[in-house]
Homo-oligomer: A and B are copies of this chain.
């Protein structure tokens, strides 16, 4: 997760309060004291969400939100408005400029965090739900199930039990078959970009995945390419006599 949140708030006390709470909840926080400062920071920080005070000195919150909605890069960033007023007309303007939610001061830190999480959740693309089917294996991200579909007795699907990492690893391999992936590439794509993990760890997870697939006789789908990495392949191996 570790989403980055930009707080645009002129009052230092509130800024500090929010900042503290968000950090405590695992967010990365950046602060701006004015819309002008925020304009600069947005392009530096590229936040995943912006907490925006309604009333700001200089450019006010609404104008800044409108500005954000114009930039190609910034218009996709969700905005949560912080407001002391509960005016109907405020709600309208807020929603019109594309605020995703608004929180009325005073608010509890927990409420704020909950709303942030809710907004982030809605923004995230429903991580490709498509069923992948290769080499007699079927992986369904929606139900989080891996089943064997090969044998004649199609009525009885056998389920393969995998841990979270093995599941992601298999998903990645099944959506990128017939290609060799170095350990580094797998770490980047399956574990995440900036994770510090030993290359050798991949071996272990490949092993775990293979063991799970052994039970259903599908472990030969994952092949080792010496000196390069691993490959998921349905093609028969060609032996030279």
Contact of A159 among B92, B161, B238 (CB under 8 A): B238
Q: How far is the CA of A71 from the CA of B101 in the complex (A)?
A: 10
Q: How far is the CB of A201 from chain B (nearest CB, A)?
A: 11
A200 within 8 A of B: no
Contact of A100 among B73, B157, B196, B226 (CB under 8 A): B73
- Whether B196 pairs with A238 at a CB distance below 8 angstroms is no
Contact of A40 among B88, B98, B123 (CB under 8 A): B88
Residues of B close to A238: CB separation below 8 A: 156-159
- Whether A164 pairs with B227 at a CB distance below 8 angstroms is yes
Within 8 A of B (CB), among A77-109: 78, 88, 91-92, 95-96, 98, 100
Q: How far is the CA of A71 from the CA of B123 in the complex (A)?
A: 10
Residues of B close to A115: CB separation below 8 A: 196
- Whether A239 pairs with B143 at a CB distance below 8 angstroms is no
A132 within 8 A of B: no
16 A-B contact pairs sorted by A residue (CB < 8 Å): A40-B88, A40-B91, A40-B92, A40-B95, A43-B91, A71-B100, A72-B78, A72-B123, A121-B185, A143-B233, A144-B180, A144-B225, A157-B235, A163-B227, A164-B227, A164-B228
